[in-house]
Amino acid sequence: MAMRVIAGSARRLQLKMLDGLETRPTTDRIKETLFNMIHLDVVQCRFLDCFSGSGGIGIEALSRGAAEAVFIEKSPKAAECIRQNLRTTRLEDRARILTCDIMAGLKRLEGQGAFDIIFMDPPYDHQWEKLVLEYLRDSELAVRDTMIIVEASLRTDFSYGEDLGFAVTRNKEYKTNKHVFLQKM
């Protein structure tokens, strides 16, 4: 499966992917559907790509006009793949990569302002998204207007969201997974 940038300044450029099953890159069709839903919000936004993998989502945001994208990715091999993809797309000047685990990355970003969009595609069915949302509840990284998007398996339950202070504003299901949109209440 090839992965490419769908639209914007880096349109049609091929992105490198990691070998093996460590990551599941978002398919071009799902990525296109996602960005069709958020394209007006991406221009000039601060974008946080959590569990970045090869960086396809954050790079798509940069290509479509995001002012900045920060990538948090634990795997050094994946972080190097993101670096190469940023060079290929010539978008590295508006990007930052934090090679660390998700909680350490979020803590390192404190004091640097809120993000407009926070995207996360954690390993499915391990409740990483809940851990991140618990952190964001009391963090300045997400404010009331921050759009939080979680890519998750179809069976992931977000009923705890309200208890954490988040409202599900949209839910888009695909054949094998879904995008759940949340905002602080």
Give the C-alpha separation, 164 to 160, whole Å. 7
- pLDDT score of 25 more than 60: yes
What are 26-42's pLDDT values in tens digits? Answer: 677 888 899 999 999 99
CATH of the domain at 149: 3.40.50.150
- Buried b or exposed e, range 150-173, using 16+ CB within 10 angstroms: bbbeeebebeebeebebeeeeeee
DSSP H or E segment with residue 115 = none
Model confidence, pTM: 0.92
Domain carrying residue 161? 3-184
**Comparing 101 with 10, which gets the higher pLDDT?**
101
Q: What pLDDT score does 30 carry?
A: 86
* Angle between helices 76-89 and 56-63 in degrees, nearest 10: 20
- pLDDT score of 18 more than 90: no
* Strand runs labelled E in the chain: 3-4, 14-15, 46-50, 68-72, 95-98, 117-120, 147-153, 166-173, 177-184
Nearest to 150 by CA among 172, 175, 135: 172
What are 128-144's pLDDT values in tens digits? Answer: 999 999 999 999 999 99
User: What tokens appear for 128 in the block?
Assistant: 């990483």
- pLDDT score of 1 more than 60: no
Q: What pLDDT score does 16 carry?
A: 72
* Strand runs labelled E in 76-176: 95-98, 117-120, 147-153, 166-173
**Averaged confidence pLDDT in the chain:** 90
**Comparing 119 with 28, which gets the higher pLDDT?**
119
* Number of structural domains in the chain: 1
Q: What pLDDT score does 21 carry?
A: 46
